Structure 1
Amino acid sequence: MSTTTIQGATARTGLSGPTLRYYEEVGLVGPIDRDPDSGHRRYGEQDLDALQALACLRAMGVGIEDMRTYQANRRRGNVAAAEQRDLLLRHAERVTQEIATLRVHLDYLQAKAALWDARDAGDPVAEAEAHLRVDAMLPALEAATR
């Protein structure tokens, strides 16, 4: 069985050494085998696969408790498929909402940039049009920031 050091695990997963140790401490992975001579952690392929899944979940804003549930469901296999699907779809809905909020923010920034572009160009007609666009999106912006 091939194993790697904590440095190899960080390179492969993108997770920091402290994060790897924390994930082991809270039971998301492991226990991680230790080198009998040095006592250093040695990560196997199964450990690395689990850590890669956790790195993806972390990047998507999934919290520790849902990561714990995800890992438990992975171990349970097909009998946990519906629960795993529901967990992932719940986070997909959250990400969808975040994307909608970011879209409103992007639209606002572009409209404000157009307003300042019109001012820079000395074009009062374009400035007035841009101002109307900005004003029209203020309710959506306020709703998105709540």
Structure 2
Amino acid sequence: MPETTTTRSISEAAHELGLTAHTLRYYEREGLLLAPVDRESSDRRRYTDDDIAWLGFLRKVRSTAMPIATLRRYVELARAGDGTSAARLALLREHRETVLARRAELDDALGAIDIKIALYSERLS
């Protein structure tokens, strides 16, 4: 019995991922998918489970403000195969340090906001 693969239209994929169809098309144009998206005979995109998993990863990494150029480099390395694992690890470690530094900045800013909230709350009590 042949194995069936669940696919989704661009609107279904966008909804599932919490992205817009425009963003999905943009990621495709920028070459951020591991493989070309399947298309129906009518040329409509069909996203597989693997596409959804990859796009979910992209969404998370983009939410950390990874630049598109860096993400594109990561995708190129991923496409090149297991021989690039060390380079991908280095890229992700470097980005992790950037995210941690940004988080420290945000924690500092949040502390300043909390001080002001406490001050106003005390005045209004």
Q: Does 1:45 align with 2:56?
A: no
Q: Cα deviations across residues 53-100 of structure 1 (Å, max 9, x unaligned)?
A: 211111111121111122222223331111111111111111111111
Name whichever structure is richer in helix by fraction: 1
Structure 1 counterpart of 2:64, from 60, 64, 71: 60
Distance (Å, rounded) in 2 between the aligned partners of 1:67 and 1:35: 28
Distance (Å, rounded) in 2 between the aligned partners of 1:32 and 1:86: 28
> How many percent identity over aligned positions?
35
Q: Is the alpha carbon distance of 1:118 and 1:62 closer, same or farther for their aligned partners in structure 2, counting shifts above 3 Å? A: same
Pairwise CA RMSD of aligned residues? Answer: 1.8
Q: Does 1:70 align with 2:74?
A: yes
In structure 2, stretches of 5+ residues that fail to align are none
**CA displacement at 1:20 relative to structure 2:** 0.7
**CA displacement at 1:12 relative to structure 2:** 2.5
Structure 2 counterpart of 1:95, from 90, 99, 102: 99
Distance (Å, rounded) in 2 between the aligned partners of 1:117 and 1:46: 50
> How many equivalent pairs are there?
120
What is the aligned partner in structure 2 of residue 13 from structure 1? Answer: 17
Q: TM-score, normalised by structure 1?
A: 0.71
Q: Does 1:33 align with 2:33?
A: no
Rg: which structure is higher?
A: 1
